[in-house]
């Protein structure tokens, strides 16, 4: 299990909560511009992205090519709008481009390409992230760099064999500079998870990882789990996060478990208001 | 959704505009086929909804298996089913079937000569989602596998026919699958014939050899050119492997100028096949290859991308016009 041996987090929870809220606004702006999108999934990611980018990770947004930076890899490329929501806050892109998400010849795509500043790996084809994270963590160990690799992966990706091949190698190579955040939102393309992957935490444990299982939409739990994952004991860290698609907007939280949440054109305004009302 | 008869609606997505479409022609045909043959099994890797297999799944829930997002396992399980006498139809996107599960298809299915039918959706530029989802080199990859049949159907009617034919073909089959509202474009009465290319429009000045969805664009462009007084013939070659060399050679000899058209990179697919068979037959003819360039293509709606990369009906029409000037 992950243990909390490190000092308490520096940033206040209140600040991180505000950041998460702003991320959700940014996500909604994008989805509204596109008329649809992976907004359900994205809304569930706000807490851990806030905790990573505004508390846990060591990086300078003005120097995203610094070899010593902590890196965040998003393995699910279709969560791109989550990343653009963050990038607008750390100044990698302008908030003005958010409504242009997914437009033909537009500035921000529906998926992720590593040619974009701040994007560490190309997404779109799932199950390819964790292996790359292992390679980076391994290389940093070789070079005796102290930076860490954080990677988001999903419950759907746990079904790809490549994910477990990577998990196996991470513990074999004693990569305690690697933290996997597993977004278990209970959905995949065909709706609710089609092949039961439980018990997820026990599987990672059996693969030699230190594991924490938390509510991924509870900021305090996320922050604390990340602090616990700082421990350098020769074991990679897995944080199994139970998240809720549509989180922060009750109407979307209640909507049918679907890969592509259907939103009518007239609904967006109401959803935006709901997001604000729900933030107390 | 009923198993008999297609559900027909009007196309809105294509610029050509006024064609009828059929919703999920693959799944409807598979359900029909499964009604006749108990050994048909349908499988997908978390893309049931997105590869149109649900009409089958609904009709035969006991013969439908969603293996989760695990494309290599999808093919391995299908191979196992085929080994004990089932006829599995496995669906995923073309990119995942060919790029990720390639070896499983080659060694298990093709070398093993197993009755596995793989339907790969989103051929070429038929998705907004960018290079990870655009199967732009699948035809080339798959035609290199010994013993694998490769088919690129044009429209809803042909997809239905190919489902039935692929059951009859002994051995593995790879089909490029269009999903969702699929247009009807081939002439009334057209029937898919395994291993055959067929002339779907007569003409003499330019001959286009096309495959898959591109035959619809070739027909549009040919109709537009006729109004300018240019006679364009279209040879539809859905069978990439086995390839109808004889029909291609005869067609090439019957026209003044020759072009190929495919929703695929111009290397390794249809254009390459045509060049091979013409050279082998001693036919020396200038060949204009229309298709995708040797590069990965960005995200964008299919209409936008096809226009940008020169395979929309309008761009093909321009290209044919310029051929007349040379
Ligand atoms: C290798 C691969 N197979 C299939 C797909 C198609 N696909 C896109 S998203 C998705 C669902 C995956 O579930 P998950 O990763 O849990 O994402 P979520 O349900 O949260 O969107 C699938 C199957 C893909 N992108 N990559």
What is the pLDDT of chain A when averaged over all its residues? 95
What digits encode the pLDDT tens for the residues A173-190?
999 999 999 999 999 999
Question: Is A30 near ligand 1, meaning CB less than 6 Å away?
Answer: no
- What domains are there in chain B, each with its CATH number? 3-183 (3.40.50.970), 198-325 (3.40.50.920)
State the smallest CA–CA distance between residue B298 and chain A in angstroms.
9
From first CA to last CA, the distance across chain B in angstroms is: 52
CB pairs under 8 A between A and B: 71
Q: What is the DSSP letter of A57?
A: -
Does the beta carbon of A75 sit less than 6 angstroms from any atom of ligand 1?
no
Per-residue pLDDT at A141 exceeds 60: yes
Cα(B32)–Cα(A42) distance, integer angstroms: 39
B102 touches chain A (CB under 8 A): no
User: What are A230-279's pLDDT values in tens digits?
Assistant: 999 999 999 999 999 999 999 999 988 788 888 888 999 999 999 999 99
CB-based burial, B144-158: b 16+ in 10 Å, e otherwise = ebeebbbbbbbbbbb
Task: Inform me whether the C-beta atom of residue A190 falls under 8 Å from chain B C-beta atoms.
Answer: yes
| Percent residues over pLDDT 90 in chain B | 94
Out of B48, B67, B299, closest to residue A111 by CB: B299
Q: Decide if B46 touches A, using CB distance below 8 A.
A: yes
Contact of B314 with chain A, judged by CB distance below 8 Å, is answered with: no
Please name the residue whose Cα sits nearest to atom 21 of ligand 1.
A188
pLDDT in tens, A13-44: 999 999 999 999 999 999 999 988 799 999 99
Q: Is A275 helix (H, G, I), strand (E, B) or coil?
A: helix
- Chain A residues with CB under 8 Å of B72 CB are 161
Helix axes B245-254, B270-280, angle to 10 degrees: 80
The pLDDT of residue A261: 83
**pTM higher than the cut 0.90:** yes
- Tell me, in angstroms, the distance from the centre of ligand 1 to residue A179's CA: 21
Interacting residues of B195 by C-beta distance below 8 A, sequence separation 6+ = B239, B242, B244
Say whether residue A258 is in contact with chain B using an 8 A CB cutoff.
Answer: no
Torsions phi, psi of B255, nearest 5? Answer: -120, 160
The tens digit of pLDDT for each residue in B37-83 reads 999 999 999 999 999 999 999 999 999 999 999 999 999 999 999 99
Residues of chain B neighbouring A127 (CB-CB closer than 8 A): 69
CB contact under 8 A, A159 and B132: no
> Which ipTM did the prediction report?
0.95
Residue A4: pLDDT over 60: no
Which positions in chain A touch B99 (Cβ < 8 Å)? 125
Domains and CATH numbers, chain A: 14-279 (3.40.50.970)
* Cβ contact, residue pair B132, A122, below 8 Å: yes
């Amino acid at each position: 299990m992950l243990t909390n041996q490190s000092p308490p987090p520096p940033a206040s929870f209140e600040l991180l909560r505000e950041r998460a809220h702003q991320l959700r606004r940014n996500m909604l702006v994008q989805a509204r511009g596109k008329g649809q999108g992976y907004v359900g999934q994205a809304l569930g990611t706000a807490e851990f992205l806030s905790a990573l980018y505004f508390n846990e990770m060591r990086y300078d947004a003005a120097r995203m090519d610094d070899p010593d930076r902590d890196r965040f890899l998003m393995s699910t490329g279709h969560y791109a709008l989550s990343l653009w929501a963050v990038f607008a806050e750390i100044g990698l892109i302008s908030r003005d481009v958010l409504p242009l998400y997914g437009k033909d010849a537009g500035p921000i795509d529906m998926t992720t390409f590593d040619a974009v500043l701040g994007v560490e790996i190309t997404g779109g084809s799932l199950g390819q992230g964790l292996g790359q994270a292992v390679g980076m963590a391994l290389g940093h160990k070789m070079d005796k760099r102290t930076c860490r690799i954080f990677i988001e992966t999903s419950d759907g990706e746990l079904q790809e064999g490549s994910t477990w091949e990577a998990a196996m190698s991470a513990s074999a190579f004693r990569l305690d500079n690697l933290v996997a955040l597993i977004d278990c939102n209970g959905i995949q393309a065909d709706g609710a998870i089609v092949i039961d992957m439980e018990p997820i935490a026990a599987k990672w444990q059996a693969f030699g990882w230190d594991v924490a299982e938390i509510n991924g939409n509870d900021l305090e739990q996320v922050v604390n789990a990340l602090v616990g994952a700082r421990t350098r004991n020769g074991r990679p860290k897995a944080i199994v996060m139970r998240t809720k698609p549509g989180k922060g907007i009750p109407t979307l939280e209640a909507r049918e478990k679907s890969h592509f949440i259907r939103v009518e054109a007239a609904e967006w305004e109401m959803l935006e208001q709901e997001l604000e009302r729900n933030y107390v | 959704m009923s198993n008999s008869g297609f559900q027909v609606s009007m196309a809105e997505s294509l610029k050509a505009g006024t064609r009828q479409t059929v919703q999920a022609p693959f799944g409807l045909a598979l359900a029909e086929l499964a009604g006749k043959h108990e050994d048909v099994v349908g499988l997908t890797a978390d893309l049931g909804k997105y590869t149109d297999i649900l009409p089958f799944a609904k009709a035969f829930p006991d013969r439908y298996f969603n293996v989760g997002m695990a494309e290599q396992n999808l093919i391995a399980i299908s191979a196992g089913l085929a080994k004990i006498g089932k006829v599995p139809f496995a669906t995923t996107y073309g990119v995942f079937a060919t790029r990720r599960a390639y070896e499983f298809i080659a060694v298990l299915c093709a070398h093993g000569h197993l009755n596995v039918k793989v339907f790969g959706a989103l051929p070429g530029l038929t998705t907004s989602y960018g290079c990870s989802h655009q199967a732009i080199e699948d035809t080339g990859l798959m035609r290199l596998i010994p013993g694998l049949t490769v088919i690129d159907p044009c429209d809803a009617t042909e997809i239905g026919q190919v489902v039935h034919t692929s059951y009859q073909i002994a051995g593995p089959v790879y089909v490029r699958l269009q999903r969702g509202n699929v247009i009807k474009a081939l002439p009334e009465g057209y029937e898919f014939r395994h291993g055959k290319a067929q002339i779907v429009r007569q003409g003499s000045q330019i001959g286009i050899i096309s495959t898959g969805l591109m035959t619809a664009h070739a027909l549009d462009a040919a109709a537009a050119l006729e109004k300018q007084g240019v006679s364009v013939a279209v040879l539809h070659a859905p069978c990439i492997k086995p390839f109808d060399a004889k029909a291609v050679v005869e067609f090439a000899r019957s026209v003044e100028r020759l072009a190929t058209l495919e929703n695929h990179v111009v290397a390794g697919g249809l254009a390459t096949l045509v060049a091979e068979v013409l050279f082998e037959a001693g036919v020396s003819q200038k060949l204009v290859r229309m298709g995708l360039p040797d590069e990965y293509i960005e995200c964008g709606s299919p209409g936008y991308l096809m226009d940008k990369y020169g395979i929309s009906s309008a761009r093909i029409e321009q290209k044919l016009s310029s051929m007349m000037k040379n």
